[in-house]
Amino acid sequence: MSYYVTDPSSSATWIAWDSGSILPRPCFLPANRYQQLAASFKFGAPRPLKTFQKMLGLMAPASLVLQLGLLCVWPLQYWLKPIVPFHAWRHGCLCVKVDQACIAALAPWKDLQRMERGMPLEMVCRKKLVSADASNSGWGALCDN
């Protein structure tokens, strides 16, 4: 049995909990949205940077509940980094031409079966506490006291 929000709401539920197989996975509607958006990138066609930003925004929560999810986000980020100037990320006013590397980076997000599989939960074998601070003058970290 899966649980997800179907009524209009000010918040969105992106993760479905399948109590039968005990697997978290993206909800069907967003999973279908990944597939549709990834399929809309056509080889040689220019796409607005806002569309890439939308895709990356959709990938972020799903990457946490898909097996090797973060490794599926990285290829698109890596592909975009040399193409998009830093200032364009804020304004999103750039058009980016889709090439074969982009199509390959989006391939895992077109696989609806992969999205529905979810990620098996495992027992935590080790636990490390790492504390870090951030400042304008330096950095530091502490691991297990």
CA distance 92 to 88: 5
> Within 13 Å and on the Cβ side, how many CA atoms surround 73?
18
| Domain annotation covers residue 73 | yes
User: Residue 13 pLDDT > 70, yes or no?
Assistant: no
| Domain annotation covers residue 8 | no
Domain ranges, residue 105? 15-143
User: Residue 97 pLDDT > 90, yes or no?
Assistant: yes
User: Residue 2 pLDDT > 50, yes or no?
Assistant: no
| pLDDT at residue number 113 | 79
User: Residue 26 pLDDT > 80, yes or no?
Assistant: no
| pLDDT at residue number 100 | 94
| Domain annotation covers residue 101 | yes
| Domain annotation covers residue 65 | yes
| Domain annotation covers residue 3 | no
Tokens representing 136 are: 């304008």
| pLDDT, mean of residues 114-121 | 70
| Domain annotation covers residue 91 | yes
| Domain annotation covers residue 2 | no
| pLDDT at residue number 18 | 60
Q: Within a 10 A sphere around the Cβ of 138, how many other Cβ atoms?
A: 7
Closest CA to 14 of 22, 23, 5, 35: 5
Highest mean pLDDT, choosing among 60-64, 95-99, 121-125: 95-99
Model confidence at 48, pLDDT cuts 50, 70, 90, reads very high
User: Considering the entire predicted model, what is its pTM?
Assistant: 0.63
| Domain annotation covers residue 9 | no
The DSSP annotation for 64-114 comes to TTSTTHHHHHHHHHHHHTTTS-HHHHHH---EEE--HHHHHHHGGGG-HHH
| Domain total of the chain | 1
CA distance 48 to 33: 18
